[in-house]
Chains A and B, each alone.
Chain A
Amino acid sequence: MRFLYGISSSTANDYSNATMETLEFARQHEFDVIEIYCETPDFIPGKVSSELLNKVHQLALDNNIRVQLHAPFHSINLASFNDRVRQLSIRILEETMELAQRLESPIVTFHLGLCFLPCQLYRDKAFDFLIDSLNQVLDYASNYGIIIAMENRGGKLDIGKPSDLLRVANAIDNKLLKITFDTVQANVHGDPIEYYLMLKDHVINVHVSDSPRGKSLLLAVGEGEINFKGLMKAFIDNSFNGPLIFEMSSKDKALISRNVLQEIVKEILS
C-alpha cells in the first residue's frame, strides 16, 4: 500500500510567492500532492492572474503533482444569521471552485463556519442556514464535478466538531460532499483515532501535524502527543491511502514528518 503525501502552501516562507515556492519544493522533494492555501496574497480567489494559474497547472502536470485547494476560511461563515455574510461566504467558495476547475483540482477543502451568539442560542436554525448554504455550494460544485471537503475543527466557536460534520453529511447525503480530517484539530478536544473512526466513511483527505493534547500547534509528527502509529493503522485498515497533507510551521517539518510516517507504515505492514 502506497500513501500519497502532500504539502500545504501555508508552509511557505515568502507569502507573496507561496504557491510557486511550495510547488517547486514539492517537485524537488517528490511530493505527490500540493494543497494551495487560497488566502495568501498571490492566490486569492477572484484575483489570481491567468499567468500564475497556467504556470502552476503546467508545472504540476509536468511533474505529476496533483493540485488541490484549501478555500479561504477566515470570515467565512455558511451558518451565519447575517444574510450578507452567508452570501459572501458562498460566493468565495464558488470562486475557489472556479480556480479548482482551471487547475483540474479534484478537491476543495473548506470550513463550515463559526457559532456566535445567535447560533449559540438557536443552533437548529443555524444548521438550517448551513444546510441551505451548502446545497447552493454543492449545486455549483456539481457543474464541475468537484468534491468539497468540510474540515473538522476544534476551536470553541467553530462549527466542525465530528458530530457537526456527521449531522451535515447525513442531512445532505451528496457524493460530492466529503470530509478533510485534520489531526491536530481532532486532538484539540478528543482522541484523533476515535474521531477518525467516527468519520472514516466520509474522509478523503487528511491534514497532518502534531501537537500536545488540547492545543492546536503545527508541529512535526513525533513532536506532539498524537498517536500516529494508531492513526496510520486505522487508515490502512480502512484502505485509505491519502492524500496526507503536511500543514506545518515549516517545510523541514514536513520532510521529517513524511520520513517518520513512512517508517511507521513500513513497521505496520511488515
Chain B
Amino acid sequence: MEIGLSSILCLAYRSVQEYIDFLSKQHVSYIDFFIIPPYIDFNNLEPITNLIKKRLGDNIKITVKAPSFVENLTSILDKVQNLTFKEYMDTLDLAKRVGAKAVIIKPGMMFYTEKKCKNYIMEKFLEYLYTLAEIAEKSGIYLLLENYYYPYEILRGPRDFCEVYNLIKNYEHLGFALNIPHLLESKGSVNLLIRKCEREVLERIKLVYLGLRPSPWENTKYIQSIAHVLKEAKKLFRIISPEFVVIASVSEPIVRIFLDGVRDIR
C-alpha cells in the first residue's frame, strides 16, 4: 500500500516547488497529480514530474487524476461528451509518458434529460469507456472510476459500485478509486459497501482518497470529519489492501494529520 499526496496542495502553497519540498520532508514517495490549473495542467505535468524525479528519485510512484469537475461522459450534449473523452485520452497519454500506474476519472452525471434518455446515453458512455479501457490496458495503466457525492452522479453509493462493476468486470484494468469522504457524504459507509458488494467488487478498489468531508475537491474546513474518515479507512483496510492511498487536502496541517493517521493504521 503506497501512501501518497495529492498535488492539490500546490493550490495552498501557490507553488509547485513548496509542494516538492513538503514531499521531501515527509518522505513521501508517491504522488497523485490532479490536473487542475493554475499549477498542474496538460502542458506542464511532464516537466514537473521530471523535476520531482530529479529531486526525489526515479522510483517515485505516480498516478494521475483527470480533470473532473464539469466533465461528463454521460452528457446529452455531444460536445461535452467529446471534450471529456478527449481530456481522458490526453490524461492516459500523459500518464504513459510520466510512467504513472493509474488514471482516475469521474464516470459521469445524469441530470433530468439524461435520465429520460438513459438507454441512448448508456450506449454511448460504454463505447467511450471501453475505448479508454482498451488504451489503458495496452499501456499497463489502471483506469479507475471515482465515486462522487452529488445527487446526479452515476457512481455514488454502495449499490452503484455493484452496478458499475457489472459493466467493467471484463476489463482487468478497469477499477475503482474509492473516495471515502464522498462515500460518507452520500450516506454510504464502508460497512454498507462491504455488506452490499461481493468481494470481487471490493477487490477492484485500487486506490482510496482520504480528505475532509464533504469533498477533498472543495475548499472545506470540516476538520471534525477527520476521525470518521480515518475510522472508515481502517475498516476497509481490514478487508482489502488497495495499492494506493491518497491524502488530498489544500491544507498542510490537515495533510499532516491524515499522514500520521494512515501511517498508524498501516
Interface residues of A (CB under 8 A from B): 10, 15-16, 39-41, 44, 46-47, 72, 74-77, 80-85, 88, 91-92, 114, 116-118, 120-122, 125
Contact = CB atoms under 8 A, between A and B. Distances in A.
B76 A92 contact: no
Chain B interface secondary structure, helix, strand, loop or mixed? loop
Interface of B: 8, 11-12, 36-38, 67, 69-72, 75-80, 83, 86-87, 109, 111-113, 116-117, 120, 217-219, 250
B8 A85 contact: no
Given A40-B113, A84-B87, A91 B218 contact: no
B219 A47 contact: no
Contacts of A92: 77, 79
Nearest to A39: B113
Contacts of A47: 78
A15 B38 contact: no
B211 to A, nearest CB: 11
Contact of B72 (A40, A74, A117, A125): A74
Contacts of B250: 117, 121
Given A74-B109, A74-B111, A77-B70, A121 B76 contact: no
A88 B36 contact: no
Contacts of A10: 112
Contacts, number: 84
A40 B115 CA distance: 11
B77 A81 contact: no
A245 to B, nearest CB: 17
B37 to A, nearest CB: 4
Contact of B67 (A46, A82, A114): A82
A81 B38 contact: yes
A30 B60 CA distance: 68
A47 B83 CA distance: 17
A116 B113 contact: no
A125 B11 CA distance: 13
9 contacts: A74-B109, A75-B71, A77-B69, A80-B70, A81-B36, A84-B86, A85-B70, A117-B36, A117-B250
Given A44-B76, A75-B75, A120 B218 contact: yes
B113 A41 contact: yes
A114 to B, nearest CB: 7
B31 to A, nearest CB: 17
A228 to B, nearest CB: 25
A40 B78 CA distance: 12
Contacts of A122: 38
Nearest to A76: B70
A16 B71 CA distance: 24
A118 B75 contact: no
Contacts of B116: 15
Rank and list the top 4 A-B pairs by shortest CB-CB distance, nearest first. A120-B219, A75-B70, A81-B37, A75-B80
A114 B12 CA distance: 20
Given A46-B79, A88-B79, A116-B218, 8 more contacts: A15-B116, A39-B113, A47-B78, A74-B72, A77-B70, A84-B86, A117-B217, A122-B38
Contacts of B8: 117
A167 B8 CA distance: 28
A76 B11 CA distance: 23
